[in-house]
Each structure stands twice: as C-alpha cells, then as structure tokens.
Chain A
C-alpha cells in the first residue's frame, strides 16, 4: 500500500518534505495505525504518537488525506491511495507527525476543567437524577485528541485567544452538570470577543470528531446562557 508522509526532523531538515512509502501489509492489518507500525518497522525514524489503538486515548490524531482523524480507528479500506499523512494543522510541529499541543491544553486548562462545588460533600454520593445526568452525554466523552480544534479556522487564526471547540465542549460539560456551582464564573470567563464568540459555526469540529461529539451544539448552548443572563 502506498503512503506519502510529512517528514521533518529539526535536527537535520532545513524544511519539511514528503516521503513516499510502499509497504506490504498483512491480512490482519485493519487500521491505518497497523500500517504505520509496518512503516516504522521499515524506517524507525518515522515518529508518531500512539497508545491504546482503540480510539479512546486520543494519542494518534493526524491529518489523513486532508481530514483530521485517529489512525487507530481509520479503516484502511476507507482511505484512498497514496494515503497522505500530515501532522494536525495549525500547531507547531515537533517532528514528523508529532505536534506541540501546549496551546491546545492551555486553552483546555483556561476553562477551569474541574467541578466547582464548595458545599461540604455529603457522606454518600451527591444525588443527580438520570435526566440531569443525561445532560452530560455527548460532552464528557471527549478524549482531548485535538482533531476538532486543529480543524477550526477560528482556532488557526487565534489559538491564543479563542478557546476552541474542545475547550468549549469541556466548559459546557461543567455548566451542564447540576453538581457544579460556578455557572456564572464560567460564563464570565468566556465573556469576551474571542474566547467564545470567535466560533462562527463552521462545524468542521463536528465533521472530524472521532467520538461523534458535537462541540458546535455545546457552544450554541453556552451562547444561549449568555443571552439569557443578558436579558
């Protein structure tokens, strides 16, 4: 199978280049990650992140034939040859398919990604109705792979100012949690021309999310909260 892979090692390459590979796959190779492991066995200098190989750890996000996705859950039957692999767009490249995700995590951390509840907890669990718990479905499953934020033009232009779809999904995950007491603080934190409102509902995030989540919808709900408290 034929691949065209973005290569860059700052120690020896003046600039990035593409390297072509033609690798023999085994019948058991099912996913793109399996093929990448074959490539690496031939050329051990090819660098990429990987861990769980089942789409839950979020390590092996990359740009596959122009679209962000996880290598481990991308079926080889679904990709056209030569498969062009590039690092996630919009973030600094450390080497080959490995990007520097500092800016992405900085935005995630900026939304206070933890439950805020200052009342002393009861001896047992805090109660939450099944209906209230359902509000968190589609929000808490995020794996922080960054496929969404690095597919978002608003994040490309303002990665330092716009929180991005992953961070905003997390922000709404806590706003929507009946156990969280900091909705006002969370809205204040996003009340700014960039942090939330740079989302123009382009919906690339929804298109690429490997977990089928919908950050645009969550962002819309945060905007609704903003409007409601303004009136």
Chain B
C-alpha cells in the first residue's frame, strides 16, 4: 500500500463540542498549531442540546460554597467518584463560569446584574440540608449559548477547524506513545494522517447504543472505539444515566430545570409520588433516584396513558410568564414532540438514556492513564481525553445535573493548560510508527471490498434494541448474561457489514459503517462491565443485588477490548486539600 499523506501539528483535538473547544482555545491562544477535527460544524456538536445550566457555587441567589458542591457531587456519584478530581472541579467552577461570561455568554441575569442560577437535582446547601440555586443558566438553552460562545471565541483565536472530518484510529508506536490520528474527510473521501505531539480525544458520549436516547445521531462513541482498538481500557462503562424526563415516545430531552423552576412529577392517580421516595429533595433528588422511582411507579401499574407506560411532568402552575421566560424551548419541544402546550397541560415523560458516566480513564490534567506494572494510573504518553468520552472520574456512578457542562469547561481548560505547559513548540515530531494508518486502511478496505453482507442500520438497530432490553434501569444476572451473549453475536455481525453506496463524495453510508465499529465497542464495554458488577450503585441498579457493597465493589471497572477482559482499580477517596468524605448511606 502506498503511504498516506501526512500533515503535522503540535496538537490534534478530536471533537469540537464544549470540551474540545475549551481545550483548543487554550492552545490557539498560546500560539500552538492545533487542528480540531469534527464530524459536524462545531456548533452542531451535541453540547448544543444541553438545556438546564452549569453548576458553580457563585452564591448569587443565596449562600453557597464549593465544598457543599463537592459533597453533593460525591454523594451523587454514590462514592464512586474520585475525590481529588471532584474537589478540583468544584473549586474551579466559579472561575470557568466567569470566564465564559467574559467571553460573551448570554447568561440570564438577576435584578442586581449577576448571573441567574436555578435549583437542580441533588444540589444542596450545607451538606444536604436544603436545595440551593447553583445552576448558571441561559434560559433553557445553556448548552446552545455555551457552544456558540466557545466557537465564537475560537474564531477570534483563529483556531483551525477541520469540519466534517472523522477520526478513524489512534496512531501508537511500539513504545505506546500516541502520535496522532488517521482521519477521513467526508466531502472527498480522502484519508490522511494528522501527526501530532499531543492528541486530545473530545468525542463526547455514546448514547446512541440505546434505542431510547436523548442523544444526537453523532454520539456514537468514536473516541471510545479508537481508544479500545488501541489497547486502552475503558473505565466504569456500566454506569449510564437515565434522564428522568425524556418526552415519552420521542426521547427528546426535557430539562431538569423544569423541576428546578417548580415542576412536579405525577402518576396516574395524580399523586406527587417523589414525596414518598425522596421526602427531603422530592422531585429534585438525583437523577438515578428519580428515574428508578418513575420506573417503579410504572411497574406497579400507576403509569399514565393507554399502555400505562409513562408519567406526567406538570408545570402549568408555574404560569405563562415563568414558562415563556425561563423555559421557552421546553414549550416548543412539548408542542412539537408531545402535542401538548405545557402552559395548560402536563408533558408525558419517561426515563431516557442521557449520559455516559464512564469513559477513557484520565487524571485531573486530562492525561489518559492506564495500569502499567504496579501503577494503576500510568500516563499514556501523548494522549489526553476530556468531556463525556473521558472518565476523570467526577461523576462516579451517577452524575448530577449541570456537572456535565462544568466538566467540559474545567477539564477542557485543564488539559489545554497542561499541554501548553509542555512547551511543545520546542519539541520535534517523533518518527512516525511504521505501521501508522494500516489499521484504518484495513477497515476501509474490508468495507470497500464487501459486495454483500450485514446491513449497517439493521445491526445498529439490533445493538440498540439489545442494550435497551438487557441493560436498562433495572438489571439482573439473567438479563445481563443473555445480553452479553447477544452483543457478542452482534460483534461478529459488525465485522461482516457491507454498504451499497460506492461514492467517495460525502458517503454517509460509509461514515455510519465506521461509526458502527465504535458503537459495538461501547456496547460490549457497557454490558460486560454491568454483568460483572454484582451490586447496586448509582445508575447501576440490580434487582438481584439491591444494595451497595463497599467491601467488594468500591472500585473502578476497567474493560479491555482484547478478550473483553476486566480489571479494577481503587477509587481515590483522598481529596487534594480537604478532609475526605467517607461513604455513607445515600438518601435524598
């Protein structure tokens, strides 16, 4: 095979959502040559769909402190989060929000001119005592406002974007150093090596492994697939968040901000059932708790509708003024996707897959880490991961609402600063691995050579159906074991796909086939990790092991693609500067 063309950069960032663009901003402003690849124009990245807010203890509404935020996050994570990373994130939160405001973010305002903050699930004052208003909001379009602001700031910094380019595989040399990526330009079908001294994965989540998902079509776990194929582990992949309020049937997200502004959940009897499950925070308990409670109501026959398969989100009592000012997009979504005007009627909702807590293991600098010898967290040279594709781990077994946008900002920035600190401009490029690009070319050659085979949309549909049926809100051994078997069968089918479209020009069938290679790795990691974890913690709820088991399972899962092997590493219960928060019972 002839060699692929090579372009060289100080840094390559894969993904142009919130975390990728926060990182690229640091690099571009420091004068590094940086290429940011994105499957879509940057403002179309899935960060754009975030609604509710960014968590930060600004204290604009009432007294707040980063330590309370830290406690809420640890408790929300069901103690699986690493306390050093959580302390770093919560401490940095106000600064990254102020920076975003200085960049021009159109936050809502209080009468005194400060940033408006709303209540959100699991956020409390004084270590769980009462709800606190911590979510910094731009109406119910916070993600949209944020991703546009970051793009705009990157335009100012003259960041170089490669729009509608898909990264296929990481390039690693014999020592394991990461040297860049192989990338595919959709418009031309050209394949190229983007060599870099540092590679940052910022590819977002993989919510499209489930059938009912709030996620965009592009969320196919590309960074996870790339890391897995490069021999790197994926951490805590069994932990997937079901957002309590996806529009029933459509899956479109309805922000927790609705409940933050005073909306409540009702069952078929018109009962505000969260009062029974979470007497203190009620509808604003953390998401895993609310989703399980809703599922329980539906299971016990108190679901709404002809099939008794959903519950209702009532917000008409907030009045048109609040709804039109604070929740305008929610009204639009409810009208379009549920046929209801939420000023007058409740919205039918069900728990819907929303967020991946696990991902590529990193440290607080965003550097990817993997076990090596006796060190469970040895740095993988040249590779960083930030945002939803990474597991740093601040979300542990369950993420608090508003902590995802915060995670993007804090760790995108931290990784950027750490990279800038390495003085890359003074360093030369390594000699490129001799087999660089071979794996990607083999994938493309197989696909192009297959004249018949499995249909890509059909196999993708089967993966989603299997994950939904076998790895849902409530799990048990029988369901999971059967799910593992089915997903492994699907793995073999993914290797036999074929496409009809032979064009080089914007061949979206080929892109979807390449994405399927990433979906299947994510699905395998998820269900194999879930089957092995014999306890209930955060988003992993097993009816056969209903309790948290700290003696045996207070540890992070590591899944490796090779043989679907599992390994474990300890949770970091030691914060950076404050006393640890030891595990205790979790009630809301």
Tell whether A226 is near chain B: CB-to-CB under 8 Å.
no
- B156 x A114 contact (CB < 8 A): yes
Tell whether B354 is near chain A: CB-to-CB under 8 Å.
no
- Interface size of B as a range: 35 or more
- B40 x A114 contact (CB < 8 A): no
Are A114 and B153 also in contact (CB < 8 A) when A12-B503, A51-B46 are?
yes
- B46 x A94 contact (CB < 8 A): no
Q: How far is the CA of A58 from the CA of B216 in the complex (A)?
A: 12
Are A40 and B503 also in contact (CB < 8 A) when A52-B48, A59-B40, A59-B44 are?
no
- A45 x B113 contact (CB < 8 A): no
Select which of A41, A115, A129 is within 8 A of B152 by beta carbon: A115
Q: How far is the CA of A140 from the CA of B250 in the complex (A)?
A: 27
A68 to chain B, nearest CB (A): 17
Which chain A residue lies CB-closest to B113? A127
The prevalent SS among residues of A at the interface is: loop
Interface residues of A in 110-149 (CB under 8 A from B): 112-115, 117, 121, 123-130, 132-133, 136, 140-141, 143-144
Tell whether A203 is near chain B: CB-to-CB under 8 Å.
no
- B109 x A130 contact (CB < 8 A): yes
**Chain B interface (Cβ < 8 Å from any Cβ of A):** 40-41, 43-46, 48-49, 58, 97-98, 101-104, 106-115, 138, 141, 144-145, 148, 152-153, 155-156, 187, 216-218, 249-250, 252-253, 329, 332-333, 336-337, 455-458, 499-501, 503-509
Give the tally of cross-chain contacts (CB within 8 A): 153
Q: How far is the CA of A10 from the CA of B217 in the complex (A)?
A: 26
Tell whether A55 is near chain B: CB-to-CB under 8 Å.
yes
Tell whether A161 is near chain B: CB-to-CB under 8 Å.
no
Chain A 11-49 interface mask (CB, 8 Å, partner B; 1/0):
110000000000000001010000001001101110111
Tell whether A207 is near chain B: CB-to-CB under 8 Å.
no
**Chain A interface (Cβ < 8 Å from any Cβ of B):** 9-12, 28, 30, 37, 40-41, 43-45, 47-59, 73, 75, 94-96, 98, 101, 105, 109, 112-115, 117, 121, 123-130, 132-133, 136, 140-141, 143-144, 174, 177, 179-180
Are A140 and B145 also in contact (CB < 8 A) when A58-B44, A115-B103 are?
yes
Residues of B within 8 A of A28 (CB): 249
- A94 x B187 contact (CB < 8 A): yes
Select which of A11, A30, A129, A140 is within 8 A of B337 by beta carbon: A30
- A123 x B44 contact (CB < 8 A): no
Residues of B within 8 A of A123 (CB): 98
A-B contact pairs, 5 of them (CB 8 A): A9-B505, A47-B507, A56-B144, A125-B101, A126-B102
Q: How far is the CA of A133 from the CA of B101 in the complex (A)?
A: 12
- A94 x B115 contact (CB < 8 A): no
Residues of B within 8 A of A124 (CB): 58, 98, 114
- A44 x B509 contact (CB < 8 A): yes
Which chain A residue lies CB-closest to B157? A114
Are A128 and B109 also in contact (CB < 8 A) when A54-B333, A94-B505 are?
yes
- A133 x B457 contact (CB < 8 A): no
